[in-house]
Amino acid sequence: MHTSIPGAIGTLFGLDMAVKQYIEENVSEKEEKNFCGTKVLIRKVYNKGFAFNSMDSEPDKVKKASVITTAVILMLTLAESFREGHKVTKTAWTLLSAGAISNTYDRIVRGKVVDYIGIRSDHKILGDVTANLADVYILIGSVLMWMRRIGKR
């Protein structure tokens, strides 16, 4: 077993949880702060559903689906951790696991996911999107998986 995977998952999870807690305690829902003079915005948005608030009217189904998906991701991560090599795939599963655990934890404990990263944009759709580090982990992990799969062809 590649022993750094659990530690990396825990570290990434802890980082996202720490930022979410900071946002909960220090940013109001009406507030929007510019991050270090960039187009990145810090704001607090709650999401009871999946991405883009899909299924937000069915939080119990969202929780169940999140728990099942997270369990599957963790099992696949565990299986991958025993393989020799495959660093890109292991990194992808690590990122996917950390993101899934963090957002699922939020859904179970808070009843909603705390999102806090926005982008200042003239494009309405892009400007309306708010994410969190867990979402970024999932995005990067998915891209790595896709790149790995494309590379095998």
Q: Are strands 130-131 and 32-34 parallel, antiparallel or unpaired?
A: unpaired
3-class secondary-structure state, position 135: helix
Q: How many domains does the chain have?
A: 1
Q: Considering all CA atoms of the chain, what is the largest pairwise distance in Å, rounded to the nearest integer?
A: 49
pTM: predicted TM-score of the whole model, two decimal places: 0.90
Per-residue pLDDT of the chain (153 residues; tens, 9 = 90+): 567 899 999 999 999 999 999 999 999 988 888 888 888 999 999 998 887 777 888 889 999 999 999 999 999 999 998 888 889 999 999 999 999 999 999 999 999 999 999 999 888 888 889 999 999 999 999 999 999 888 776
**Any residues with CB less than 8 A from the CB of 94 and at least 6 apart, and which?**
5, 8, 9, 12, 77, 141
Both structure tokens of 108 = 């179970």
Q: Residue 54 belongs to what domain range?
A: 4-151
The amino acid that residue 115 corresponds to is D
